Amino acid sequence: MVYKWIKRNKLVFIVLVLAGAGILLAVTSKFGKPLFSTSKERLLSSIKREKKIKELRKKSDKESQLREEEVPVNVFRVARGTFQDTLSAMGTVKGGSEIELRFQVAGMVKSFDFREGDKVSKGEVIARLDQNDALLKLKQAQIELEEYEKLYSIGAIVKSKLEQARLAARLASSEFEKTYLRAARDGIIGDKNAEVGEFITPNVKIATLVNLENVVVELGIIEKEIDRVFLGQKVTVNVDTYPGIDFTGRVSNISPLIAGKSKTLTVKANLDNPGGLLLPGMFARIKISVFEKENALFIPSDSLDRSTGEFRVFVVGENNVAYAQPVEVAYLSSDYAQIAGGIEEDELVVVEKPEALADGKKVRIIEVKEYGEPEEEVSMIGEEGEE
């Protein structure tokens, strides 16, 4: 049947065959490969794919091996500045000096307008006795003085009589003034021991006036730290009431005795107290400057390696290779070491040296720590040493 159709339509069949061949040729040319690959071609393509996969795996394994050989480290950027070693302690603020307040005459307390802890100014009246008798004596003395002055002016009395009257008036005025108790200086009231209505004598201390111009901070130093404290050392004090404000002073007294179960030595430091901000009884955080040097080179103490018997550090150089470098330590504290030679500012030294680290070993930097930065703000850098 087909054969008869082809025979009758020979020209049409030839056209169809030629068109199909053209389409096949065009498709093959566009995709660069035949539509129907042979078994041999498929085998060659599979071999190429396997070879490429193996090469990629080999490259990845090599990179992983190199990566495993790098020692992960944290580093510190060598800094230069003011190096200070401090001794921290807790203490209590006390008045710089105390004046016992007493009336000079006996009498009944008429008024006492201050409480313990109240501030007073120099010359201010703190308390007053009953003044009836003293006021009466003062008025009588003043009246007599006026009369004697008139008599003397007309020559009725001698001058000695006038002088006696003047003396009596001054004494009466002085006795009247003694019924007042005034502040001899600026300060605060402490240890109030008398109340209104109470009869007192000059032997009775009614209160204490605490000086605030200069105060004392008292602290305890444990036995093993005693040899680090000396007279005249700089002291910095902070209190919770005024966060961020430093009060400075000097060590003024060191007790010769170790007292108490805690085996502590009592140390006192005099402090400047501008504005009278520090009050007796305040809890104080104290730092005693044990050692201080300007323009010093320093690194963390935990970056020092002493396994060879001498001080050395591991410095990260080119291509992230760490090398051991001997250093000269001028001063060593629990946190930092002042370096006199062996390294330069801005070099990177390894801190908390890993056991796997050795001279000439390649490292991978995890983080760079800068002096003065909080732990949460250390600058992070990548594996190639770039931020």
pLDDT at 111: 93
- Asked if 210 and 273 count as a contact pair (C-beta separation under 8 A), the reply is no
Judge contact between 279 and 117, C-beta under 8 A. Answer: yes
Confidence band, pLDDT 50/70/90 cuts, at residue 116:
confident
pTM: 0.56
How sure is the predictor about 255, in pLDDT bands with cuts at 50, 70 and 90? confident
Q: Is residue 385 part of a domain?
A: no
One domain for residues 77 and 154: no
Band of the pLDDT at 383, cuts 50, 70, 90? very low
Render 144-170 in DSSP notation, one character per residue.
HHHHHHHHHHTTSS-HHHHHHHHHHHH
Residue 270 has pLDDT above 70, yes or no: yes
Q: How confident is the model at residue 97 (pLDDT cuts 50, 70, 90)?
A: confident
Average pLDDT for 303-312: 88
Sign of the four-CA dihedral 82, 88, 93, 96: negative
- Whether the per-residue pLDDT at 196 is higher than 90: the answer is yes
pLDDT band for position 10 (50/70/90)?
low
State whether residue 182 is helix, strand or coil. Answer: strand
Same domain, 32 and 46: no
8-state DSSP, 275: G
332 shares its domain with 364: yes
Distances (CA, A) of 296 to 23, 84, 290: 85, 9, 15
Whether 2 shows a pLDDT value over 70: the answer reads no
306 and 317 belong to one structural domain: yes
The answer on 300 and 375 residing in a single domain is yes
Q: Are residues 312 and 347 in the same domain?
A: yes
Residue 27 resides in a domain: yes
Per the CB < 8 A criterion, the answer to whether 192 and 181 are in contact is no
For residue 24, give its domain range: 1-36
Select the more confidently predicted residue: 23 or 276. Answer: 276
What is residue 276's three-state secondary structure? helix
Taking the C-alpha atoms of residue 331 and residue 255, their distance in angstroms, rounded to an integer, is: 28
What mean pLDDT is reported for the chain?
Answer: 82
Calculate mean pLDDT across residues 323-351: 92
Query: Does the pLDDT at position 90 exceed 80?
Result: yes
The answer to whether residue 266 sits within a structural domain is no
Based on the fold, state whether residues 160 and 148 are members of the same structural domain: yes
pLDDT band at 13; cut points 50, 70, 90: low
First to last CA, the chain: 82
Q: Please check whether residue 213 lies inside any domain of the structure.
A: no
In this model, does residue 192 exceed pLDDT 70?
yes
Task: Provide the percentage of residues in the chain whose pLDDT is more than 90.
Answer: 44
Whether 343 is in a domain gets the answer yes
**Residues 138 and 161 placed together within one structural domain of the fold:** yes
pLDDT at site 9: 60
Q: In what order do the strands lie in the sheet with 207-211?
A: 98-101, 207-211, 187-190, 119-120
Q: Please report, for the domain that includes residue 302, its CATH number.
A: 2.40.420.20
Within this chain, do residues 32 and 51 fall inside the same structural domain, yes or no? no
Q: Look at residue 234 and tell me if it is in a domain.
A: no
- 305 inside domain: yes
Please indicate, yes or no, if residue 188 is contained in any of the structural domains.
Answer: no
What is the percentage of the chain residues whose pLDDT exceeds 70? Answer: 78
Is 7 found in the same domain as 58?
A: no
Q: How many domains does the chain have?
A: 4
State residue 378's pLDDT score: 34
Helix, strand, coil distribution of the chain in percent, nearest 5: 30, 40, 30
Q: Is the pLDDT of residue 25 over 60?
A: no
pLDDT in tens, 145-180: 999 999 988 888 889 998 999 999 999 999 999 999
Among 74-78, 112-116, 371-375, which range has the highest average pLDDT?
Answer: 74-78
Shared domain check, 25 and 47: no
